[in-house]
Amino acid sequence: MDSLPQIRLKIERRSAHPWIYQKMVEKPSRKVPNGSVVDVVDRTGTWIGRGFWNGHSRISLRILTTDPNQAIDADFFRQRITQAIALRRQVLHLDAVTDAYRLVHSEGDHLSGLVVDRFGPVLVLEYFAAGMFRFREEILNALREQFPVSHFYWFAEEHVQKQESFDCHEPQPPEPIVITEHGLRFRVAPGAKHKTGFFLDQRDNRRRLAEFCEGRRVLDLCCNTGGFAIYAKALGKAEEVIGLDLDEEALELARSNAHLNQARIRFVQSDLFPWLRDAIANGQRFDVVVLDPSKQTRSREEIGQALKRYLDMNRLALQVVAPGGVFLTCSCTGLVREEDFLDVIRRAAWQAGRVVQVFHVSGAAGDHPWLLHVPESRYLKAVWCRVA
């Protein structure tokens, strides 16, 4: 194995977490290009791992292996990607359920900085680290071995490119495609606003929601492209379903998806705050209410504001749940801890004058695995309640 640049920490390594922050790292004596593979030693000189270096990023080191004999090369990516796909196919048996699922979930699959989603014949890669982008050809080749007739689309969000100091030139987005999930069909547009194309993480929660909907009146707040609403009507046989979202482009896809599944749903373009205030004033009540807003912050400095928005949304949403109705409220903000989100729901219920009985707390589907020592991978909280 060729000699690699060595990065020394200011601390003794006491955690197996793959992220090491800039403030914990000594400045290298010579320049090491961002995205380089480096060996990492702690302040005592003890070798602790090998991974990606980025002196420009707040996360300066991403540890990929703690095996000193394991190189970070094409074989490494082939092995890790093969293991990730085996979980989905051989353990979770997702091919029997859907042709759309997450193939690689970053830290959850020991590939910090990379997410890969499958949508039928299209594989969508999202890069979060300059090092992963540098190995893009090795990653694509490993994926081609598993999915030889697939098409590829890749991207990195602008704030990630700036933070990680790399330029990701996206290819032309593929044409929208139709995927299947639990017998339902959804049109997916990789490269659109939600660039990976579809919220795969809510698959199991969508299926469970359908169990509560037969003959009921259902409200899907922040419905995006209609996932929960369509499950409620097409699979759950709800009497009436209303889907609400501010994004007209997302609603166009939602209407198309409803048509694909012969589901009669009323989609409304509106900000949820004035719409809910009017609904409360008019005495509207729904037997099942879903609240699944977008990520509220990426910054630790803004967690307080995010919790305040969650409080305001949940307080209003709870007031339109019929007595004895089911309320599913979600947070996909990874920086918001589960206990803090539950406390927000408690305070929202008190302010709304409702009593909330939590009967289940779930998260992302199994194709979004997380490691016990990397709690950041467990970002989705889905709280199931009966409301009195």
Q: Cα-atom radius of gyration of the chain, to the nearest Å?
A: 22
Contact between residue 339 and residue 373 where contact means Cβ atoms under 8 Å apart: no
Confidence of residue 298 (pLDDT cuts 50, 70, 90): confident
Stated pTM of the model: 0.93
Separation CA 314–CA 309 (nearest Å) = 9
For residue 67, what are its two tokens? 């095996």
pLDDT, mean of residues 20-33: 92
For residue 53, what are its two tokens? 């270096």
Question: Catalytic: which of 222, 223, 330, 332?
Answer: 332
210: which residues sit within 8 A by CB, 6+ positions away? 231, 232, 235, 236
Q: What is the pLDDT of residue 332?
A: 93
Strands annotated E in 249-347: 266-269, 286-291, 321-331
Q: What is the pLDDT of residue 295?
A: 85
Query: Could you give all domains of the chain from N- to C-terminal order, each with its CATH number?
Result: 6-65 (2.30.130.10), 74-164 (3.30.750.80), 199-387 (3.40.50.150)
Separation CA 347–CA 351 (nearest Å) = 6
DSSP 332: -
**What digits encode the pLDDT tens for the residues 95-119?**
999 999 999 999 999 999 999 999 9
Q: What is the pLDDT of residue 300?
A: 83
Separation CA 266–CA 217 (nearest Å) = 12
**What digits encode the pLDDT tens for the residues 316-369?**
999 999 999 999 999 998 889 999 999 999 999 999 999 999 999 999 999 999
Q: What is the pLDDT of residue 15?
A: 80
Element (H, E) at 375: none
More confident residue, 231 or 14: 231
pLDDT, mean of residues 72-89: 98
Residue 232 has pLDDT above 80, yes or no: yes
306: which residues sit within 8 A by CB, 6+ positions away? 296, 297, 333, 335, 336
**What digits encode the pLDDT tens for the residues 201-225?**
999 999 999 999 999 999 999 999 9
What is the distance of C-alpha 319 from the center of its chain? 28
Residue 194 has pLDDT above 80, yes or no: no
Q: What is the pLDDT of residue 100?
A: 96
**What digits encode the pLDDT tens for the residues 280-293?**
999 999 999 999 99
Q: What is the pLDDT of residue 195?
A: 60
| 223 tagged catalytic | no
pLDDT, mean of residues 233-243: 98
* Percentage of the chain exceeding pLDDT 90: 85
For the chain, the average pLDDT equals 94
Confidence of residue 192 (pLDDT cuts 50, 70, 90): confident
